[in-house]
Amino acid sequence: MSVVLPPSAAPRSAYPARVLPERLRRRLLELAEGREPVSAYLYDGEVAAGRARALRAALPEWAAVHYAVKANSFPGVVRALAPHVDGFEVASRAELELALAALREKGEGGSPASSAAPAPGGPVPVVAAGPAKSVPVLTALVRAGVEAINAESPLELHRISRIAVAEGTTARVALRVNPADIPVTGSLRMGGAPSQFGVPEPDVPEVLREALRLPGLDVTGFHIHAASNNLDADSQAAYLRWCVEWSVRAAREHGVELRHVDIGGGIGVAFEELAGEESFDVARFGELAGRVEPPPGVRVVLEPGRFLVADCGWYAAEVTDVKHSYGAVFVVLRGGINHFQLPTSWDLVHNIAVLPVERWPEGLPRPEAADARVTVVGELCTPEDTLVRDVRVDRVRAGDLVVFPYAGSYGWEFAMHSFLGHPVAERHLL
C-alpha cells in the first residue's frame, strides 16, 4: 500500500524567501556556515508575547489566560510568555517545573496580567490536565498548591484526596466534563462522543456527590474542553458563554461553590495566513466575550497553546540531496518527521520557503530542481517521512535550506526524536 500523507500541496507554490523575517534569514545563513548540516527550530519570543498581549487586552477582567505548555516547552518561549499571561496549563512534572520556574522569575519583577489572577499567597496560577495523571504527577501538583487539578475520573478524585490528606493540605479540583452536546455552531468538535477525556455528562451528578464527600478536596468548578482549532470568533465566544452557563447551572444543581470555569483551548491558527487565509479575530472574540456575565468571584480560564506560539517558530533543514525519480522530484532534508511530524500526523499541507545558500564545496556536483513540483522528504528509512508533497518551487539545490513557517507549536515536542538515532533538531531563540 502506497503512503500518500500528507495531502498534495498542488496547486500551491512555495512561499518566496522574503516572507521570512530578515533576522531569521541572517541567523539561518550563519548556521549554514557551520560544519554540521542545519536542522533547527528558531523561535522569536516577542512574537509569542505579542499574541498573548493582544488576547489578554481583548478579554474582560474576569477571564484568565493560561498558556498550554505542551504546545511549545522551550524554556526561552515559556519565559517570554510569562509576563503576558495569567498562568500556565501543564500535563506533566516536567511542564510543572517549567511553569513554576517561569512564575518565580515573573514574581521577581512582574505582576499578574489581569485582575483575575490569584492574589499573592493564594493558589499557584497553574491548572493541570491529562487523562492518566500518575500518583507522582498528582503528588507534585498537590504539593505545588496549583489553582486547579482538572480531575478526569472518580478514581483520580480518590487519588487526589488521599494525597492531599497525607500532605495535610487541601487540593483544589475542577471536574473535567465530556458534555452530551454543545448547542453551538461553527468549527467546534462537539461533545457526546466516547472519549478517554473527562466524565460523561450523565455521570456528573453521581461523581460530584462523591467528590464533595471526599476529604482534602475543594471542588471549585468545571473544565470543559470541546473546541479544536476554531477560526470563527463568534462561535468561540458562543462556546465560552455556553461553558459558563452550563457550569453555573450544574454548580447550583449539585451544591458546588462555583469559582472556576475552564473552557480549554481551541482558538485556531490559520496555517496559510501568509497566503491570505483569514486569521482568528481576537478583537471580535473579546467584544463578544465581554457580553458574558459570570457570577461575581468566578474566574474563567482559557488555555491557548498553539494560538500563542504557532507563528513564533520556524523549522529549517538543509537539503542534503535533490533526486529525480521516474519523473518525480524529491528534496531530501537533514531532518524529517523525527524533527517535524506535524504535517503527516495532522494530515495537512504545511507550506515552505526555500532559502538559497551559496556556499557549496568546490568540485562537488550540486543537484537541483527548477520551476518544478517537488516532494519534500526526510532522512528516515520509511516513505512516511514526507513533509510536503507536490509543491512548486522556483529553484531548490542541495545545500539550500527548506524553512517551515508556523512551526512554533507542536513541532519539536511532537516529533519522533529517537527513531533511527539521528541527532535531534537544535533549538535557538532569536
Give all strands (DSSP E) within 247-312, no chain letters.
260-262, 299-302
Annotated catalytic residue within 1, 155, 364, 381: 381
Which of helix, strand or coil describes residue 39? strand
Listed in sequence order, the DSSP H helices in 292-407 are 306-309, 342-345
Q: Cα dihedral angle (49, 55, 58, 64), rounded to 10 degrees?
A: -100
Which of helix, strand or coil describes residue 332? strand
End-to-end CA distance of the chain: 42
In 3D space, the residue among 38, 50, 122 whose CA is nearest the CA of residue 81 turns out to be 50
Please state the separation of Cα 76 from the chain's center in Å: 15
In 3D space, the residue among 377, 327, 356 whose CA is nearest the CA of residue 3 turns out to be 377
**CA dist 179 to 141, 211, 232, 381, Å?**
26, 18, 21, 43
CA angle, corner 221, sides to 220 and 227, nearest 5? 145
In contact, 37 and 320? CB cutoff 8 Å: yes
In contact, 138 and 149? CB cutoff 8 Å: yes
Radius of gyration of the chain (CA): 23
Give the separation between CA 296 and CA 258, rounded to whole angstroms: 10
Give the separation between CA 323 and CA 332, rounded to whole angstroms: 8
Classify strands 299-302 and 63-68 as parallel, antiparallel or unpaired: parallel
In contact, 114 and 92? CB cutoff 8 Å: no
Length of the chain: 430
381 is catalytic: yes
Half-sphere exposure in the Cβ direction for 214 (13 Å, CA): 27
One-letter amino acid for residue 95 of the chain: E
One-letter amino acid for residue 320 of the chain: T
How is residue 424 annotated by DSSP? P
In 3D space, the residue among 235, 229, 239, 238 whose CA is nearest the CA of residue 279 turns out to be 229
- 162: which 3 cell numbers? 488521599
Catalytic residues: 381
